[in-house]
Homo-oligomer: A and B are copies of this chain.
């Protein structure tokens, strides 16, 4: 983790409370039964997310820094460690959904117990958070919980989607969708090339505060001039690809993607439901249950393979990671006004029809944008000592970088330099497509 000062917040304890409360708010519409299941290995039970984020504070802060602290339960470290080999054995990831105990109520008790002790730990530094010897780890714990909040949104969606009853997360009905015309064609915006600086740079406009170690060090890259589309690819555009037979023509696909299309039987993005009659209306599973496909909204829940195949079909390509970051800096993208989790939509939103086509829109929020860059260490990268060194570094192979955050990301969690990463076949995150050429 970078050296950092804590981001401005009313008070430290208030910020801690706010982050922690958001996780619980996300789970409030769920039944205890919903918090247990794990329909695929990628999706963890919500109960597990609630406990694991708590374990992080207990393990890295209370155990280390609060004298006399007693563990809530001696076996929770075994149950709720995610992947830290340094911290001993743990429940096999694929088996998280077999654990009915501790029940949800106990997990909430665990959270309350840890929160209470965290308040004790934080109290002396109320006015001067940065003076806390554990300031960086605390910040990491909060960022970590925000990452799991995004997973809560996407994992809950997946869990509900696999249920034949197609239950809605939101108690209220979805607002009746306004009849929405497809957007005008996207416009290509030129981005000048040349040398640029990649990575977390508070000095150069990034909000001072926190970054992960994988965003560092800042380093020079060279990029040739290129063009970027002024908005994300829409459902209408992607539907054209689907209906033109895009999923039946190997020529658009990377080899491993094509193999997957065939073995998994993919015919459209995740959550799309083909009309029963030809010519009927496509639907999508959402947090409101099944809804008509909103043609003007950005396409989402696509794998890298689909994003790349679409780009080929459209005669374009995906941007690289340096291109994306330099373009975002060039266009002055800012989190403010973006469609993040705070919007409560839990879905990418259509561009306003009157949006200025000369601007570059939706760079932050809405969808994580697949780049055609591997998630590898930046030159000079070095990971932290001890267990926290396992946070990011060990994943730096076989994954691709995604940029910009999504409608499930907390707004305070995103930065221009933020590097997300997933394997090329993953679709359950709010992933989308930005074209370059």
Residues of A within 8 A of B (CB): 31-39, 47, 75, 78-79, 83, 85-86, 91, 95, 97-104, 159-160, 162-165, 167, 195, 219-222, 224, 226, 250-251, 253-258, 304-305, 308, 317, 320, 372-374, 376-377, 379-380, 389, 394-398, 400, 424
Contact = CB atoms under 8 A, between A and B. Distances in A.
Stoichiometry, as copies per complex, reads 4
B98 A97 contact: yes
A376 B258 CA distance: 17
A239 to B, nearest CB: 25
A78 B164 contact: yes
Given A222-B220, A320-B379, A33 B103 contact: yes
Nearest to A380: B224
Contacts of A167: 101
A125 to B, nearest CB: 32
B33 A36 contact: yes
A263 B203 CA distance: 46
Question: Which 10 interchain pairs have the tightest Cβ spacing?
Answer: A374-B374, A222-B222, A39-B98, A255-B394, A34-B100, A33-B100, A85-B250, A32-B32, A31-B103, A33-B103
Given A32-B32, A219-B224, A398-B398, A97 B37 contact: yes
A172 to B, nearest CB: 18
A86 B249 CA distance: 10
Main secondary structure of the interface of A (DSSP, over half): mixed
11 contacts: A35-B100, A39-B98, A79-B164, A86-B251, A98-B162, A100-B159, A254-B395, A254-B396, A256-B398, A372-B377, A374-B374
Contacts of A394: 253-255, 258
Nearest to A220: B222
Nearest to A221: B222
A317 to B, nearest CB: 8
B397 A256 contact: yes
A371 to B, nearest CB: 10
B33 A104 contact: yes
A162 B101 CA distance: 10
A101 B222 contact: no
Nearest to A91: B164
A320 B395 CA distance: 17
A268 to B, nearest CB: 21
B255 A83 contact: yes
Contact of A98 (B37, B377, B379): B37
Nearest to A398: B398
